[in-house]
Amino acid sequence: MTAGTAGAANVQRIREFKMPDVGEGLTEAEILKWYVKPGDTVTDGQVVCEVETAKAAVELPIPYDGVVHTLNFDEGTTVDVGTVIISVDTDPGAGPVQEGPGAATPAEAVEEEAEPQGRQAVLVGYGAAPSSTKRRARKPQPGVPAQSEPVTAGLQAELNGRTTPAPAATPVAVPVAPAVPAASAPAAGRPLAKPPVRKLAKDLGIDLATVAPTGPGGVITRDDVYAAAAPAEAAPAVAPAAPAPAVPTAAAPVAAFDAARERRVPVKGVRKATAQAMVASAFTAPHVTEFITVDVTRTMKLVQELKQDPDLAGLRVNPLLLVAKAFLVAIRRHPEVNAAWDEANQEIVYKDYINLGIAAATPRGLIVPNIKDAGAKTLPQLATELGELVATAREGKTSPAAMSGGTVTITNVGVFGVDTGTPILNPGESAILAVGAIKLQPWVHKGKVKPRQVTTLALSFDHRLIDGELGSKLLADIAAVLERPKRLITWG
């Protein structure tokens, strides 16, 4: 067998599995744990590793039968979507894999791999069928030096969330273009930016065509978007009536005071996603927070009665269940609250369904899974969904789909003994309700001061969607239901 023939045979034998497309704008995942090692036999559908995206921990099955040839990354490594993470020898009985000059290296295998048959596995289900659509080559822009095709393809692949090793190329003499001022607008055509950067620009209302790129190859970075969103210190043409809220720009690294007693932990996974979402929300949606203190003694009595109800036997019955039901009833009375702001189309999207998010603190960080169509569920159904949601979150098995599509959220800070807070909206949602600790306090009841069980509610809402009057009515109705839970019947 010649070297070339051996190399071709190796490519056919060695099947490479890439980090699947996680969807929803996520472009990377961290390998938490390998369940196999080189030399192990694997079968189609067998779970080979667990990865953590910015939203969830997911187990990945291998779509091949064979023997593990290589693991390309160690545990704890963050890998871009589309990068080969494991290779499998699908014909181990044919003898050892040739490593000679004709054998394909992992990088070459990526280049030479044929079009995949059928659809490719993704983190949840399967992806779309391969498309036969071919794109025309982009016309060169005037004044922009032409790049070799492999370099352009590699750059575009990286922007699409996939990394393809660039083949070695001979040096090409590139004419030096005149210096361009940093503030100049990018050349005509679709600006180059990765999906998360495009989403950030959309959230901040920034047109990428107006952003000056500073990244390699003319790629727009997150810092470029933040810089474009930051209000100009001196604007000779237009002077704003009031100073706009400052948008954070690239900050200098935190200086070490006593490095021997400091620890630095990389920002990744859920913590990274939460930080990005909170910054985007805080600097996009104008928040308003209102508070109300309410006597929930009757609600607490109802909780104890429901725990004895045979129809709720074995279900999780607690104050949060009735708070959720009160929130849903109040939204039904004020359906215009359940909406979203579409900045791109300059529209308000009113939703005839309520996907109720429940903020959950997990060892991996804060996540907000939601109960789909919660407004249409009975109390036992809502209790069942809440119990499953909490159990799944604690196990770290919440799927990305369970954390998408939320419309409003509840955060129960009372479990930590906190009276209340000013919660930040989950991006894309209209309101979030914070529930404080329920405490025995002196309260005027029927003209006399008596010890009553009292809590404080805080409602933050997007002032673009919800006026002060509407927000106040919503919060007052939630409190009214918790004060007299029989309104769950009369209003429900």
- What is the rounded distance in angstroms from the CA atom of residue 219 to the CA atom of residue 190? 11
Alpha helices in 251-336 (DSSP H): 269-282, 297-307, 319-333
Report the DSSP pairing between strands 431-435 and 408-412. parallel
User: Residue 15: enclosing H or E segment and its boundaries?
Assistant: strand 14-18
Sheet containing 14-18: order of strands? 14-18, 84-89, 66-71, 41-42
36: which residues sit within 8 A by CB, 6+ positions away? 42, 46, 48, 49, 68, 71, 86
Q: Which helix (H) or strand (E) holds 155?
A: helix 149-159
Examine the residue annotation and report whether 69 is marked as an active-site residue of this protein.
Answer: no
CA-atom Rg of the chain in angstroms: 28
CA dihedral 301, 302, 303, 306 (to 10 degrees): 130
Cα 171 to Cα 309: distance, rounded to the nearest angstrom: 78
Q: Quote the CA–CA distance of 443 and 461 in Å, as a whole number.
A: 29
DSSP letter (8 states) at residue 460: E
The total number of residues shown for the chain amounts to 492
Catalytic residue among 287, 334, 445, 463: 463
Catalytic residue positions, numbered = 463
